[in-house]
Amino acid sequence: MAEVRLEGITKSFGAKAAVRDLNLTVEDQESLTLVGPSGCGKSTTLRMICGLERATEGNIYFDGRPVSWLPANKRDVAMVFQSYALYPHKTVRQNIGFALKMMRVPKATIAEQVQQAARTLDIEDLLDRKPRELSGGQRQRAALGRAIVRDAGAYLLDEPLSNLDAQLRVLMRAEIKRLHVDVARTFIYVTHDQVEAMTMSDRIAVMRDGVVQQCATPEEIYERPANRFVASFMGSPPMNFVTGELANVDGVRTFRSGALSQELGRYDVQPDDPHVVLGVRPEDVTLSPTPVAGYRPGKVFVSEPLGPDVLVTVRIDGELLKARVPVPFRLGHDTPVYVGFNADRLHLFSAADGLALHAPQPA
Amino acid sequence: MTATTTSPPSTTRNPSVVKVPFRYRVPRKKIVLYVLAVAFAVYLVLPFYWIVAMSFMHEVDAISVPPHWIPIHPTLENYLGFIHPSESQQLVGGRAIDETPYSLGNSLIVATSTAVLNLVLATFAAYSFSRLKFRGSQVLLVLYLLTRMVPGIAIIIPFYLLMRTFGLLDTYLALILSYTTFALPITIWILKDFFRSVPRELEEAARVDRCGWFRTMWSVFVPVAAPGLVAAAVFAFMTAWNEFMFALFLTSTKAAKTIPVVAANFATDFNTQFTVMAAAGVLAVVPPLLLALLFQRKLVQGMAAGSVKG
C-alpha cells in the first residue's frame, strides 16, 4: 500500500511534450482516475508511474521514497493493460501466478493465492484454459487477476474496459469499483470515458495536452469545473455554452447574447473583461410550450428519448441548446418552445482563457 | 427462366408440366484448376518417388526400358551397401559409398551448428531491429540483404583463400562460418518481421510482473516467438544441408565433406550405380524430413492468438 506522488513530471518525445509539469498526489488506498481525450498524456503518466517510461524531468515517490530511476520490475506496482497482455503460452493459472513465481513465493502459497484471486473474480473454472480459449470479458478478468494476486503498492489500470461491449463494460465497471473497496489498495485508473471516471473514482484528474486541468472529487468536477474544457468534457450530454457579455441592466447583473438575456441574480462576479461564456448543463434547462416570464422563444430542433427523460435540442437565434427534460415530452420538430435556465446553477467562464469565473455554490 | 424450374408448387398442381431433373454442372474453371494442381503435384512428387523406388531396385531393373515404376524384385542391398559395401559398390564414385555415412554425420553437425549459431545471432539482431529505433536501421537492413545479391561464385575464391590463411580448410568451422554468412541476412529479415508481430505489451507485462530483461526474454518473448524461431532455424538448417559449391571448394576428405558433395561423386564417375546413388539420395532427405515433421506443429502454430484484444 502506498501513496504515489508525482512532482514536476515532464515527459517529452523528441520536441513534443506529452506531459508537462505534472504535480499529483494519490493518497494511500485512494482510487484516482486520469481522464482526458486521446493524446492528453494520461497513459504516458501511468506508464511513468509504472516504470515503463522514464520521466524527462521531475520525480516520482512511493510513500516518500523516490522511485524515478527504478525499472518496472523493481517498483512494486501491478498493472492491467488495455490489451490485457496475457501470456498466450501460459494457462490462466500460470498467468495469474507468474509474478508470484518471479518473486519466489512458495508453490503452495502461489496455488492458494491464485485460487483466491480466481474466486474473487469468479473465474475458478477457467484456470486451466489458455487465453485464446477465453472470451473478451474472461480475458479481462484474467488480466485483473494477474494484478490483484499481487500484494503491490499500487494498482494501475490502463483503459481496462475499452475492449468490452457496452453491457459488459457496465458490469465490469461495478466489479472493479467493488474490487477496490475489497482489496483496499491504491488504484490509478486511466480512461477516456468520462462516465467511467465519474462512477469509479474517489478523485478525478482531468488532463488535456499533457496538463492536469483539474483534480477533484467527481462531484466537484461536475458542479464546479475549473475551466471550460473540464465543463465540456465531463458530463453527458455536455454542457451548453453561449458566448456573450456581462452588463448592468437596471442595476441588475445580466448576461447578454443577441436576443438572449439572463439575469445573474446573486452571482457577483466582476471580471475585468466583460466578454464571458455562459455554461448551463442540459438538466438545468427547462422547456415550456407556453410563454413564461424570463424564458426565451425557440424551436424544437430534435428530441431524443432516453427512457426516463428526453434530450431535446432547441434552436434559439441560430444556436443549438440541449435540454434534458422529464417524460412525457410531446412537442414535434420545429414547434415553438420557451427555454429557461435554472438561475442558481449557471456557470460563467472567461471568453479569453476559458477559466471559470463563477460556478454554483454548494447548497 | 421457365415456370418449370422456378416454381415447384405449380408442378405439383399440374402434373402435365415436365420437371427437369437437377443436374450438377462442374464449373469448367474448377476442372482446369484441378488438372493444373494434379500436374504440379506430379511434377514435384514424381522425381522423388522415382528416387525412393529406385533405391529399392536392382541396378538391372532400374535401368530397364520401359522403366519399372514399382520395384518388382525389392531389395535392401543398396542400403546395406553403406554398412558393408560389396566390391563393385566400393569402386563407385571414388569410394563415395564409403564416404556417405561420414558425410551424413558431417552434414548433420554442420547444418545443426549453422542453425544454432545463426539463430542466436539473428535473434539478437532482429530483436534490436524490431524494438529499437536507431539512426540508419533501415540502411543497415537493406545492406544485409544486398550481401545476398552477390553470387556465391564471385566470392568463393576469396573465401577459399581466407579459410586457407586461417588453416580452416577441410574443417566444420569453415562450412559453419560460410553458411552462417549466407543464412544470417535472410534470417534477420524473417525474424525482424515476426518479432514485430509479437505485442510489446507482453514484454511490458512481464517487466511489471517482476521479470528482469533476460527472464522476460526467456519466459515470455522466446516462447511466444517460438514459431518464428523454429522457422528461422529450419531455414538455416536447410540452407546448410543443401549447399554444394562451398562444400566442394572448402572440403576435401571425409573429415568434413558433406552429403551433397559425396552424392555428386556417385554421378561423376564412369562407374555410376544409379540404385546406390538413389539410396544415398533418400538417406540425404531423411534428416530434413524428420526435422520438418518434428516441428510441423510449431511451424504453423499462431501462438500469439488470444494474447491481446481481438
Q: How is chain B split into domains, by residue range?
A: 90-300
Which residue of chain A has the CA closest to B215?
A102
A80-89, A324-333, B36-45: range with lowest mean pLDDT = A324-333
Nearest to B210 by CA among A115, A70, A56: A70
Cβ contacts (< 8 Å) between B219 and chain A: which residues? 98
Question: B207 vs A89: CB contact, 8 Å cut-off?
Answer: no
pLDDT band at A36 (very low <50, low <70, confident <90, very high): very high
Q: How much is the average pLDDT of A329-337?
A: 85
Q: What is the pLDDT of residue B13?
A: 52
Type of residue found at B26? V
Q: What is the pLDDT of residue B16?
A: 58
Question: Look-up: residue for cell 494498482?
Answer: A155
Q: What is the pLDDT of residue A276?
A: 87
Average pLDDT, chain A: 88
Q: What is the pLDDT of residue A161?
A: 87
| The three cell numbers locating residue B308 | 491481446
Phi, psi of B120 (to 5 degrees): -65, -50
Which residue of chain B has the CA closest to A104?
B210
C-beta separation of A361 from A345 below 8 A = no
Question: A89 vs B223: CB contact, 8 Å cut-off?
Answer: yes
Pairing of strands A203-208, A31-35: parallel
Q: How much is the average pLDDT of A207-234?
A: 92
Q: What is the pLDDT of residue A360?
A: 64
Could you give the CA distance from residue B181 to residue B183 in angstroms, rounded to a whole number?
Answer: 6
Q: How much is the average pLDDT of A23-48?
A: 92
At the fourth CATH level, the homologous superfamily of domain B90-300 is MetI-like (1.10.3720.10)
CA distance B222 to chain A (A): 10
Above 90 in pLDDT, residue A322? yes
CA distance B302 to chain A (A): 10
Pairing of strands A347-350, A275-280: antiparallel
Q: How many CB atoms lie within 10 A of CB A30?
A: 18
pLDDT band at B270 (very low <50, low <70, confident <90, very high): low
Q: Is A142 on the interface with B (CB under 8 A)?
A: no
Could you give the CA distance from residue A164 to residue A160 in angstroms, rounded to a whole number?
Answer: 9
Residue scoring higher pLDDT (B85 or B13):
B85
Interval B175-209: pLDDT, tens: 999 999 989 999 999 899 889 988 999 999 999 99
Question: B204 vs A83: CB contact, 8 Å cut-off?
Answer: no
% chain A with pLDDT above 70: 96
| The three cell numbers locating residue A218 | 467527481
If you ran DSSP here, which 8-state letter would residue B221 be given? I
Above 50 in pLDDT, residue B306? no
If you ran DSSP here, which 8-state letter would residue A351 be given? T
Q: Is A104 on the interface with B (CB under 8 A)?
A: no
Q: How much is the average pLDDT of B160-177?
A: 94
Q: What is the pLDDT of residue A221?
A: 92
A72-76, B63-67, B149-153: range with lowest mean pLDDT = B63-67
Cβ contacts (< 8 Å) between B207 and chain A: which residues? 51-52, 71-73
Residue scoring higher pLDDT (B240 or B254):
B240
| The three cell numbers locating residue B294 | 518434428
| Domains within chain A, CATH numbers bracketed | 4-225 (3.40.50.300), 240-358 (2.40.50.140)
Which residues have C-beta within 8 Å of that of residue A141, sequence separation ≥ 6? Answer: A121, A122, A123, A126
Which residues have C-beta within 8 Å of that of residue A356, sequence separation ≥ 6? Answer: A224, A225, A226, A227, A228, A231, A347, A348, A349
Above 90 in pLDDT, residue B91? no
% chain A with pLDDT above 90: 48
Q: What is the pLDDT of residue A202?
A: 93
Above 90 in pLDDT, residue A79? yes
The three state secondary structure string of A16-77 is: EEEEEEEEEEECCCCEEEEECCCCCCHHHHHHHHHCCCCCCEEEEEECCEECCCCCHHHCCE
ipTM, 2 dp? 0.82
Residue scoring higher pLDDT (B243 or A268):
B243
Q: How many CB atoms lie within 10 A of CB A177?
A: 17
Q: How much is the average pLDDT of A311-337?
A: 87
Partners of A186 in beta bridges: A154
Type of residue found at A67? V
- Beta strands across the sheet bearing A57-62: A16-26, A4-13, A57-62, A65-66
| Burial readout A271-288 (b: 16 or more C-beta within 10 A, e: otherwise) | beeeebbbbbbbbbbebe
CA distance B204 to chain A (A): 7
Mutating which of A73, A77, A156 best tests the B interface, going by the most B Cβ atoms within 10 A? A73
DSSP for B40-101, written as a single string: HHHHHHHHHHHHHHHHTS-HHHHT-SSPPSS-SS---HHHHTTTS--HHHHTTTTTHHHHHH
DSSP for A104-124, written as a single string: T--HHHHHHHHHHHHHHHT-G
Interval A119-156: pLDDT, tens: 888 889 999 999 999 988 889 889 989 988 988 889 99
Nearest to A241 by CA among A319, A315, A299: A319
Interval B38-72: pLDDT, tens: 999 999 999 999 999 999 998 888 888 888 888 88
Q: What is the pLDDT of residue B11?
A: 44
Could you give the CA distance from residue A117 to residue A139 in angstroms, rounded to a whole number?
Answer: 14
